[in-house]
Structure 1
């Protein structure tokens, strides 16, 4: 009897701890309580190692001080947008509130001197990145969630080694979980060629330091501080259709020249300091350049080390001001409650809200969680499409004709709250038009979901969606 009482007290203590520490995030609380009820002791151990709040640590606060010094160097070099009328078309001149939010919320300003190229799918992206690396004169900075020791991974390795032997500075950051299959021999070859490498939160150390849940999901390449790349594509043959389960891989990346590259570089330099504890302050990393374009671009970074959830706030604000359309492509749709409400409200107000999600998924649990939101959104007029040609991994948002977003962040709570992410906001009509054309092309190979048909899905599927949605804040 006494053992039952003790077990009950321990269980109550575990519940109380989660309720007290997670009271600000009800959905996350429910997910952890579900795990605790299913696995009473194991669930609490998982919570202890995975759920610690990241941003209050002293090392993170120190990182933010160093980051501010680097940011000031970038600000002195760039041309900034100071009024909403300077953005895109005259349509943005009426978005004073959105402009103030974008100007004030991020460590990166809206830059005025850029030239961008939308890169559709892996072939175009890898060709452009390898071409830029071949032309490097001073440095190449590479940061990826996933780097694989496969055909394209070896092409990248060979290109980096070749430049290092020519005297170019080469640095590589890879995520400890996303690149867990990366062979030690791959990294060793890089280091033997003089390339500096860093693993972002290696799993063993991160587990015992209670940071395993926080991953570097960014994809950055910066060449000579003048050319930058960001988007959804990692380094792996699956992005070229090499995964037989997923087939054709649909993705979107972005090539940037101009002032915005300073802030891609700024993010990389901060992450390098965090992983290597080496401060890179050579002015050559932020070189003067001749402005070749007039496109406006803003780099938005977010992560658990920041007091603000910058990408979430940006998406919410943009969705809230839309008057005509909100077009979204995302592989994982597990929205925060505020985003879900904003999309519902927009659709009910007559805005053309369209969402492309996968038909074939790389994670069945995440797909089930995504499908749990479909019925509610269809009921208020959101048009939802499932991509049938292969696997869609692009992360794109188009708001009216005023702005678009391309980057690493999915429309899910992991990207909004737990991962280190990076998006580029685009305001030029050229870039928005190109993304619109890609979206229309994708619709041609999608199946549009019907509310009347979707409601008739099996009860077993509905039950799986309910369970997946309850766990979704942790996915």
Structure 2
């Protein structure tokens, strides 16, 4: 009889947990394929799917990741196109004209551009990457940051803990010894209330003096960028940017650094550029620290607006 009641309680518990997870799942904004896959998983293996969902299934987590506070001008900016108008309705920074933007489509040019941004810094360098590899590229970049720290430049390096699980530890240790600040985003071992394992930080940027930025799709590693040809590198794009649009990158980095260190960081305004460019630029961040899904909605709207 006792065994029957224990089994009954276990079954009821699994059913209630499954229903609770299903309710949360249906409240989230997901693709139909993702929702159907999770529901099927819950039906077939509820005792596995429910705990796995609680650990990995959340797309947004407001308590841990507060919305990014963007530094914006008091006067509203007139939208330069339909997408800009939509993004501003999400309270995102406006598109800005006359920015200097240069694309880098090879590992060699990207590596040279990243090192140039680091070398150009005279006051501050803020670096954020998902992966900083323990290879020649990773060590060279961290060594360059260390040299800057020794010369009095304020260096902050933020890496995702899962992405950089095997990073250049010796080089990072030397950076810390030289006075650089190093933090890891979202540790592997953490309390359930402090975040979720699946919410990784894939952002990539090097910001020099709050005025110049290197960013794009490339991580720091030989498979992404290098000063010599590599047989199996990823085909990806990076860019360097100068202008008032750098401010949004500074805001994103500041927000992520605050999450990692648990303290508020002062807002610093990007200085006015000395030269103008011919690019119109708008940074649209995406993640648990952005309300709703403006990047997704913007891509869908761009497809609907296309005429030719």
- TM range, smaller chain: 0.7 to 0.9
In structure 2, relative to structure 1, the CA distance for the partners of 1:255 and 1:263 (3 Å cut) is: same
Aligned to 1:33: 39
Instruction: Tell me which protein shows more helix as a share of its residues.
Output: 1
In structure 2, relative to structure 1, the CA distance for the partners of 1:241 and 1:255 (3 Å cut) is: closer
Aligned to 1:102: 87
- The 1-side partners of 2:290 and 2:248 are apart by 16
Aligned to 1:310: 294
> Does 2:18 align with 1:15?
yes
> Does 2:273 align with 1:289?
yes
The partner residue of 1:163 within 135, 148, 151 is: 148
TM-superposed CA distance for 1:53, in Å, is: 5.9
Contact 1:49 1:208 in 2 (8 A): no
Higher relative contact order (CA 8 A, sep 6+): 2
Q: How does the TM-score come out when normalised to structure 2?
A: 0.86
In structure 2, relative to structure 1, the CA distance for the partners of 1:55 and 1:44 (3 Å cut) is: closer
Contact 2:99 2:279 in 1 (8 A): yes
Aligned to 2:73: 75
> Does 2:48 align with 1:42?
yes
Number of aligned residue pairs: give it: 300
- The 1-side partners of 2:106 and 2:140 are apart by 17
Contact 2:111 2:226 in 1 (8 A): no
> Does 2:262 align with 1:277?
yes
In structure 2, relative to structure 1, the CA distance for the partners of 1:320 and 1:282 (3 Å cut) is: closer
Q: Which runs of 5+ in 1 are unaligned?
A: 85-94, 325-475
Q: Deviations over 1:148-178 (max 9, x none)?
A: 1110001101110111111111111100111
In structure 2, relative to structure 1, the CA distance for the partners of 1:117 and 1:186 (3 Å cut) is: same
| C-alpha RMSD over aligned residues | 2.8
- The 2-side partners of 1:35 and 1:186 are apart by 43
- The 2-side partners of 1:146 and 1:206 are apart by 23
- The 2-side partners of 1:323 and 1:206 are apart by 49
Q: How does the TM-score come out when normalised to structure 1?
A: 0.58
Instruction: Tell me which protein shows more strand as a share of its residues.
Output: 1
Matches within 5 A, 1:201-212: 201-205=186-190, 209-212=194-197
TM-superposed CA distance for 1:183, in Å, is: 4.9
Give the 3-state SS of the residue equivalent to 1:299 in structure 2: coil
Q: Which runs of 5+ in 2 are unaligned?
A: none
